[in-house]
């Protein structure tokens, strides 16, 4: 039984955000916490970068416990949520996600400002509200408030809540929030998602190309032969023709697919948060899974081709691997001290990498040697691009800036030529269009076309969420973009 009335934290907003003080007894909190402590928490660094969060967590799949918790809180939950669009059906209360996440925060740990990702059980069942129980009392720690903001960039706290043992907080996934850094002590929470169901959306006969996209974030889009391949948080790799008609769906990964790499005319590689790289081969006109490689100990972030048989991969385990399609590791490149976001090949057996540690590093992948650091102590670079004709290295960083460096003829020296602000938030992707033009995508949900020599933005297109990947196909003059909004777009440039 819920003993206390609901306290609304944002009474003037249409977004739901409320607390039920004392929703769970101290004994129940102790029971939940004891079960978590017995199993043990682990750092989140294998799945989340340190700029985002550095607390510890424990993931438990428990349908019975989820049903018990849902039964206890159901009386305070909205039975219906409004439709996303005027012609769509409303959402009806369904269940609590059985994937439960216990979180532990110690002194110095935090979960910086973010939106909670939508959990898609299917095309019609998905999470809409965050569910969180505070398992211990704020008297046991300092800091650790739950803070809410109107937007990603607004410095003003919209609402805040100081945790107390047994309190339940429920809020809309669309609200920006953070777990404030702890000053001392320990803080424990149990988090999950409240799922709602809607009627299937009607797909008209003349549906737009690449519909309906993916369920949740799309992480990557690349050309492969005459096709376009995309992958995302729904663990699915989709193969489309250039007109946006779905040709094939590839299943096999157990978590988000973050990277795709055409290795040859017949082989496609995919890297995932499940720590594996999968090898797909064209057989009788369709891609088939032929091999699963486990060469990294954490999330695979990038995979790039070196030859028709060799590739380089980077990961959250801070390493770069040079391997063949059979999983034989030729070299392991070490030196970075945090996630290695990107790797890009250069002429003469060189390889360049960017990391959350704020460095750009140069390697000889033939011999497995570190050749030096070309930039350090800068905002981490999430997007890398090399233009060979002019020997230009173009990078996009987490401060929203694009930098252009030119290499000497022997690639030993790099000169910073240009730096300009391109996006509000992280620059997540870059694509070279030729003729001195560059495309970029960022966390401001925009695709921008630049004349690089002047830093002038020629054209601007929009998604409804972060733009995660771009791919340019010169033969058809098509620019493909992939977004957190689950949509693939194709643009004809001005």
Distances in whole angstroms, Cα of residue 323 to Cα of each of 41, 265, 314, 320: 32, 18, 11, 10
Does residue 207 sit within a domain? no
Domain region containing 22: 7-197
pLDDT at 206: 61
Q: Are residues 222 and 185 both part of a single domain? A: no
Q: Tens digit of pLDDT per residue, the chain (494 long)?
A: 555 689 999 999 999 999 999 999 999 999 999 877 767 898 888 888 888 999 999 999 999 999 999 999 999 999 999 998 888 899 999 999 999 999 999 999 999 999 999 999 998 999 999 999 999 998 999 999 999 999 998 999 999 999 899 999 999 999 999 999 999 999 999 999 999 999 987 766 567 889 989 999 999 999 999 999 999 999 999 999 999 999 999 999 999 999 999 999 999 999 999 999 999 999 998 999 999 999 999 999 999 999 999 999 999 999 999 999 999 999 999 999 999 999 999 999 999 999 999 999 999 999 999 999 999 988 999 999 999 999 999 999 999 999 999 999 988 899 999 999 999 999 999 999 999 999 999 999 999 999 998 889 999 999 999 999 999 999 888 999 999 999 999 998 86
The CATH number of the domain where 298 resides is what? 2.130.10.10
The residues, any chain, with a CB within 8 Å of residue 280's CB and separated by 6 or more, are 237, 250, 267, 268, 269, 270, 287, 288, 289, 290
Does residue 12 sit within a domain? yes
418, exposed or middle or buried, with CB in 10 Å at 0-12, 13-18, 19+?
A: middle
Do 96 and 193 touch, CB atoms closer than 8 A? yes
In 15-73, alpha helices (H): 26-39, 63-73
The count of domains in the chain is 2
Q: Are residues 295 and 186 both part of a single domain? A: no
The CATH number of the domain where 82 resides is what? 2.60.120.620
Distances in whole angstroms, Cα of residue 317 to Cα of each of 108, 232, 298, 339, 366: 22, 21, 5, 6, 21
3-state secondary structure of 378: coil
| Cα dihedral sign, 126-187-33-137 | negative
pLDDT at 81: 96
Does residue 392 sit within a domain? yes
Peptide bond into 212 cis (omega under 30): yes
Do 239 and 248 touch, CB atoms closer than 8 A? yes
pLDDT at 203: 65
């Amino acid at each position: 039984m819920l003993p206390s009335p609901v306290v609304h934290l944002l009474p003037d907003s249409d977004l739901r955000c409320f607390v039920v003080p004392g929703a769970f007894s101290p004994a129940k909190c102790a029971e939940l916490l004891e079960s978590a402590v017995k199993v043990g928490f682990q750092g989140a660094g294998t799945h989340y970068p340190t700029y985002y969060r550095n607390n510890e967590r424990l993931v438990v799949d428990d349908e019975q416990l989820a049903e018990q918790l849902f039964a206890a809180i159901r009386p305070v939950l909205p039975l219906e949520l409004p439709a996303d669009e005027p012609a769509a059906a409303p959402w009806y209360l369904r269940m609590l996600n059985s994937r439960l996440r216990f979180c532990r925060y110690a002194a110095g740990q935090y979960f910086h400002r973010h939106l909670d990702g939508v959990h898609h059980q299917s095309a019609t069942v998905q999470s809409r509200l965050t569910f969180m129980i505070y398992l211990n009392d704020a008297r046991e720690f300092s800091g650790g408030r739950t803070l809410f903001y109107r937007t990603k960039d607004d410095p003003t706290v919209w609402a805040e809540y100081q945790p107390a043992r047994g309190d339940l907080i429920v809020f809309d996934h669309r609200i920006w929030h953070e777990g404030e850094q702890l000053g001392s002590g320990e803080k424990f929470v149990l988090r999950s998602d409240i799922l709602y169901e809607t009627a299937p959306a009607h797909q008209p006969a003349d549906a737009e190309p690449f519909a309906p996209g993916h369920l949740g974030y799309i992480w990557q889009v690349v050309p492969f032969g005459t096709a376009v391949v995309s992958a995302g948080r729904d663990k699915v790799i989709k193969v489309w023709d250039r007109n946006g008609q779905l040709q094939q769906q590839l299943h096999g990964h157990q978590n988000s697919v973050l990277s795709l790499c055409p290795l040859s005319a017949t082989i496609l590689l995919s890297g995932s948060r499940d720590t594996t790289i999968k090898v797909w081969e064209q057989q009788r006109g369709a891609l088939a899974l032929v091999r699963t490689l486990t060469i990294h100990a954490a999330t695979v972030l990038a995979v790039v081709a070196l030859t028709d048989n060799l590739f380089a991969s980077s990961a959250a385990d801070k390493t770069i691997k040079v391997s063949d399609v059979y999983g034989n590791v030729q070299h392991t490149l070490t030196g970075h001290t945090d996630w290695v976001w990107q790797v890009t090949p250069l002429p003469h057996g060189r390889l360049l990498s960017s990391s959350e540690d704020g460095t750009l590093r140069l390697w000889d992948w033939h011999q497995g040697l570190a050749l030096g650091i070309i930039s350090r102590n800068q905002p981490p670079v999430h997007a890398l691009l090399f233009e060979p004709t002019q020997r230009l290295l173009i990078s996009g960083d987490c401060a929203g800036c694009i930098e252009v460096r030119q290499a000497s003829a022997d690639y030993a020296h790099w000169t910073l030529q240009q730096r300009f602000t391109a996006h509000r938030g992280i620059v997540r992707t870059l694509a070279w269009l030729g003729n001195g033009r560059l495309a970029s995508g960022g966390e401001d949900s925009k695709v921008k076309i630049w004349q690089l020599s002047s830093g002038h933005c020629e054209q601007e297109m929009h998604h409804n969420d972060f733009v995660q990947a771009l791919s340019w196909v010169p033969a058809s003059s098509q620019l493909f973009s992939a977004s957190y909004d689950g949509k693939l777009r194709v643009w004809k440039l001005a």
